[in-house]
Amino acid sequence: MRLISCESSRNLQRVGLLAALALALNGCFVTRLEAPDNQTVRLLPKDELARYRTEYKNFYLLYGALPLWPVQPSEIIAKEHLVEARAQTRDTVSDGVITAISMLFPISVFTQHVVVEGNRAGDLARDRLMRHDLDRLKPPKTVPDTQAPGPGDEVAPAPPAAR
């Protein structure tokens, strides 16, 4: 019979503790990233400007089984009348801290950080007008005349050569 050394036993305990933490801090909850019913919404690429932005947290109890006042991005999009939108979820340090502390109690609160950004129809119209006004203020582009003179065109005499 072979005995396990103290060092191997400690390593096994560490692996067990990490596995237990991973299971304990894992939750099962859903945030649907979808457009509201009966509303056409353009998906806003990451690099495009969004005039509206909100961040919020959804809270869930008992490993995510019981949602507490969850707000879905489609509700925000509908409420704010966004015609272009993007939404994402993030795992933040504060989410981990809230979850870790709540694990000391039998309630196990899980949080999910959600960011919704977008533009309203009025914002888009205002941006188009501003771009149009800026374009009108720019000096007109001059196109160099590269065509050779045709028959009947007057040609100015060449300036005298410098001596």
Query: Tens digits of per-residue pLDDT, 98-134?
Result: 888 887 877 778 888 899 999 988 877 777 766 655 5
For residue 22, how far is the Cα from the chain centroid? 27
Statement: the pTM of the whole predicted model exceeds 0.75: no
Bridge partners (DSSP) listed for residue 115: 55, 88
Query: Tens digits of per-residue pLDDT, 23-76?
Result: 555 555 667 777 788 888 888 888 888 899 999 988 888 777 788 878 888 899
In this prediction, residue 151 carries a pLDDT of 63
Alpha-carbon separation of residue 83 from 52, 86, 146 (angstroms): 11, 10, 46
